[in-house]
Amino acid sequence: MRILDGRGNSYEAGVTEEKRLMAACISASVEHHANHYLEEAYNVLFAVNPDGADDCFFYLLNDSNKNTEIIIEGVWFQTSAAEEVEIYIGQTGTAVKTNGADLTPQNLNSGSGNIADVTCYGETADGAVDITGLTGGRLIEKLWLTDAKSVFFNFEQDAIISPNQTFSMYAVGGDTLLRGTVVFNYHTIDEG
């Protein structure tokens, strides 16, 4: 039995006596594939001073119309004192920057000109932030940053933000500086 490459090149694949396909493979993480081949891996930095308790200090909306999901790998946090952070997905409403600024995610492939198709609010200069107008959603994580420290929080199952869906973070105490980086990439829904 012959196995051809299926592309009309007449390349044959080897098969062992046990009928196992012989292959020399190169494997890469999904993150590396998203960055190197798709050029769709991003970091977005924030440095905020929430206006007060329970204020939303980071908001990201997946604006993609290409049937692509945002895969959030995790978030780096640096805090000046103890703080509790709540993370939501799927909040609805119209986000309003009472205080804050537009944030621009940076592509992690230096040769790429791709830009993230998102609406993203927060702050980058330890400025006051309060993003209002959001309701509902699912609370997916509560983090207790117990003192001044730098820590990476990894979403073990990844946080998946479908098109037209949101990712938002709130400071429960609202009385500390929070700096950090949201790490994410795009994945086409039908890639399997």
Instruction: List average pLDDT for each run of 10 residues in the chain, which is 192 residues long.
Output: 69 83 81 88 95 94 90 95 95 94 97 96 92 97 89 94 97 93 88 50
Please report the pLDDT score of residue 93 as a whole number. Answer: 97
Q: Are 130 and 99 a contacting pair, CB within 8 Å?
A: yes
pTM of this structure: 0.86
List, in order of start, the domains of the chain with CATH numbers.
Answer: 42-191 (2.60.120)
Q: Are 72 and 141 a contacting pair, CB within 8 Å?
A: no
Residue 51's SS3 state is coil
How far from 5 is each of 2, 10, 15, 34, 166, CA to CA, in Å? 10, 7, 13, 25, 42
